[in-house]
Structure 1
């Protein structure tokens, strides 16, 4: 009897446990019931949203077919003199031997009468240029003009035929994550198409904040330079320019000059013979959360103005140190690259509606883009200005800045020796223009007490000066 009672008690407890577990975990609002409120959001059974990653969601064939006919193969033939040190040493032999070098790249036809855009580094130092179309027809090309700063060059071929050409898209409207195609001639493999997405916009790689690239993960290799970056409609949104790689081959990212900047450069070259580059006229840095807190700013995104260049459009419009620029026209601003990217699509005397925050209040003023020549760089009383076309022709150079004036009394005895000289380097950094020199000098002044200036004097001789910066 006792044994039976024990079995009955165990059975009763087991049943109660099973029933309790069912109630707790399964039935109604149990932990494992369908009615449980969870911190994890799950898609319903009928959720069928397509994110568009599959080949069936995007058709690249039309865009690829349009693009390959507008992309050309560019061959650069140059010559260099190869000397023989042994012959020079023992026999006094001078002169060396001319050796031909061949470089290749890509280009994009942008008009039916034969204008072609490519990279400056593709055609640099060329003695002869040859262009091969997608249909294998070959033409001699002539160089119309270049912009070494943005790495863009414009070529022209003469033909009686109407050529297929690329239609420009609006690179300002492209979005991160958007599908793109890179079309070019890597490793002399003509008409190669690769696909990827836009990884980032307004990417700067030169540490001076003057360049703005579209970054993609479409495979680009040597030979792709100067080729087309197109959207799924086949519209040109960039000129493929470089890769980021330790090996020289593609490892994940590539970069393209945005089509809006490219179009402005080639229009300037065709209309004016050179690039009409203007500047906004501010220096500073991108905001971060710590700066926002320390400065008690009302925004954490924007460009903090540390300095306003004299005679610039920003100065004349009343922009001041401490202002935070948040928008140019309808383009949001958070860094100097954003400002440069937008201003690079403008010409001197264009007006840009500028929105900024001052003392917690949003303000808006029109800023006139200033011609680069109107803005000077200064180093301890030595004032520099940009070169004009006659200076470049006279000294056979395509970059540098000129000593415009000297205001430091300590240098007055060197006035005649310095004025008119062409500065080509500060330490080892190229003195491309006044904007670049100003950025270099600001960095040097913060970290060094003296800089070396490499100049070409009025007689065309290379000279060096050492100048204190503190």
Structure 2
């Protein structure tokens, strides 16, 4: 090792001379290798508009059992991290704030998140989950000034909230940019309050757009590798012009720390939600009154749609705007208000973002032909009712006569079968009484108690009807058959089964 180092020192003048003679320059790596130079300018420009959100609430303590204590990270007594872990892990979970003790009396807990100012009157945007269930909300400015805030409104579906506080002085505000203009690889800057450390700046790139992670009905996240951790929630994601192009909301991490996969609600969504919350204190979303599902390759083949695209209408609400407009189950919506529909999420987002009462043009494919319909949107009501699954009895009162087809045992609906599977009287068709677990039907999650309403868009009333339709489709060279299937409550869906 020593010999190698000594040789290197003797060679340095020679190597340096050779480099200079060749016209090369020994210079530090260009700034672009570490990121764009504009990050510091962005941070300096906007950091005073980024705030910490402090909330407190009264919770019922769970007691100080050894199981609860053992779930928290263990740190040496007197460690500088002891207070941090006691506050962050124990208080947030409602456990005892000090060591030992099993005090079960209600206690106050605190949590911290992030937000940003969008109006100099003191309007702040953050995440709903940052302030949910809080008894008291405070905004902490970048200089440490703490001010009590009131809630203007929340939208749980996009996890956004708007707050208002009385400004103590002139405020720095930020404006929204156009998230639709983002490209993969664009640099972005996140500013927030990770782990209650205070204003922190991180940078990264746009890793993906329109990401659906099944966290809500309108998922269309920006994915970034800028470091986002607990406490960053509600904080802004900036482009290099200092415009907010997203609100940092979620991370994927087994440890709770950043692993380079963070998600932000795009500014196009945020701006519309914020405007409505400020104006109405609630969201007023458009409503079409249909239940939709994806168009798989098998369904597209059955409906003669090439390529597979759009949103398949599985059901139409009797009281919704779609019914008087002429939309029917089996229609595939391929265009809404001039915009192409590639998948169901596109339609859900577009309808929700359209003004209540607006008349829009919808193009559907019905039995292989395009049709143009006009519909006046209603308003989506947020009832969020949870439907209970029907309890099925193990044995019927009487064994029904069945017909086998497509890996299914099929029987005509009878009073006994309606009672057995709790099928509503309004549901018509052929009931499934058994499923071959090796069949395509089992893979597509058909189960006993489901009711087949249509086969290849023709109504059926018996297992014999289904067998005849299937045999004819096989003779016609079809590769799959499209079934309209109802559950016991009458909710419809389309299922394509292979005929091979």
Fold shared, TM-score > 0.5 on shorter chain = yes
Question: Residue 52 of structure 2: which of 73, 76, 98 is its match?
Answer: 73
In structure 2, relative to structure 1, the CA distance for the partners of 1:108 and 1:332 (3 Å cut) is farther
Instruction: Determine if contact 1:197/1:216 at 8 Å carries over to the other structure.
Output: yes
Q: Are 2:160 and 1:155 aligned? A: no
Counterpart-to-counterpart distance in 2, 1:378 and 1:184: 36
1:101 to 105, 109, 127: 109
Tell me how far 1:227 sits from its aligned partner: 0.3
Distance 1:378 1:167, change over 3 A: closer
- 2:286–2:353 Cα contact (<8 Å) kept: no
**Does residue 1:358 correspond to 2:366, yes or no?**
yes
- Map 1:194-273 to 2 at 5 A: 194-206=202-214, 209-273=217-281
Per the alignment, do residues 238 and 56 of structure 1 end up closer, same or farther by CA in structure 2, a change over 3 Å counting?
A: closer
Q: 1:290 to 1:134 in 2, by over 3 A?
A: same
Q: 1:338 aligns with which of 346, 349, 352?
A: 346
Q: 2:43 maps to what in 1?
A: 64
C-alpha displacement of 1:84:
6.4
Q: Output the CA distance in 2 between the equivalents of 1:320 and 1:356.
A: 10
1:117 shift after superposition: 0.9
1:320 is matched with 328
CA distance change for structure 1 residues 233 and 309 in 2, over 3 Å: closer, same or farther? farther
Larger radius of gyration between Structure 1 and Structure 2: 1
Q: 1:283 to 1:108 in 2, by over 3 A?
A: same
Alpha-carbon separation, structure 2, partners of 1:119 and 1:163:
21
SS for the counterpart of 1:156 is strand
> Residues 53 and 112 of structure 2 are in contact (CA less than 8 Å); yes or no, is this contact kept in structure 1?
yes
CA contact (8 A) 2:304 2:367 kept: no
Q: 1:356, CA displacement in angstroms?
A: 3.4
Aligned-pair distance for 1:160? 4.3
Shift of 1:243: 0.8
The alpha carbon displacement at 1:58 in A equals 6.9
CA 201–362 in structure 1, closer or farther in 2 if over 3 Å, else same: farther
Conserved 8 A contact 2:46-2:172 = no
Evaluate the alpha carbon distance shift between residue 76 and residue 303 of structure 1 in structure 2; reply closer, same or farther with a 3 A threshold: same
Structure 2 residues without counterparts, runs of 5 or longer: 1-30, 66-102, 391-417, 420-444, 451-486, 491-500
Distance in 1 of aligned mates of 2:45 and 2:335: 36
Shift in Å, 1:357: 3.2
Q: What is the count of residue pairs matched by the alignment?
A: 334
Rounded to whole Å, the distance in 2 between the matches of 1:107 and 1:160 is 17
Question: Aligned equivalents of 1:229 and 1:367: distance in 2?
Answer: 37
State the 1:118 CA deviation: 0.7
Counterpart CA distance in 1 for 2:257 and 2:269 is 26
What is the aligned counterpart of 1:140 among 144, 148, 157?
148
Q: Deviations over 1:304-346 (max 9, x none)?
A: 2222333323333333333322333354322222222223323
Q: 1:302 aligns with which of 294, 306, 310?
A: 310
Partner SS, residue 42 of structure 2 = helix
SS of 1:82 mapped into structure 2: coil
Cα 1:332–1:378, aligned 2, differ >3 Å: closer, same or farther? same
Residue 67 and residue 352 in structure 1: after superposition, are their counterparts in 2 closer, same or farther (change >3 A)? Answer: farther
Post-superposition CA distance 1:41-70 (Å, at most 9, x none): xxxxxxxxxxx9755767333333333222
- Determine whether 1:279 maps to 2:287: yes
Identify if the C-alpha distance between structure 1 residues 76 and 347 changes in structure 2 by more than 3 Å, giving closer, same or farther.
same
TM (norm. structure 2) is: 0.59
Q: For residues 403-422 of structure 1, give each alpha carbon's deviation from its aligned partner in whole angstroms, at most 9, with x where no partner exists.
A: xxxxxxx99xxxxxxxxxxx
Per-residue deviation at 1:207? 6.1
Structure 1 pair 99/65, CA: closer, same or farther in 2 (3 Å)? same
Structure 1 residue 293 and structure 2 residue 272: aligned? no
Q: CA RMSD in A?
A: 3.6
Distance 2:260 2:214 in 1: 19
Normalising by structure 1, report the TM-score.
0.62
Superimposed CA distance per residue, residues 291-315 of structure 1 (whole angstroms, 9 cap, x where no aligned partner): 3334321322322222233332333
Going from structure 1 to structure 2, the CA distance change for 1:62 and 1:314 (only over 3 Å counts) comes to: farther
The answer to whether residue 129 in structure 2 is matched with residue 121 in structure 1 is yes
Residues 237 and 364 of structure 1: CA distance in aligned 2, closer, same or farther (over 3 Å): farther
* CA contact 1:202–1:341 (8 Å) conserved in 2: no
Question: Unpaired runs of 5+ in structure 1?
Answer: 1-51, 87-94, 383-409, 412-444, 451-466
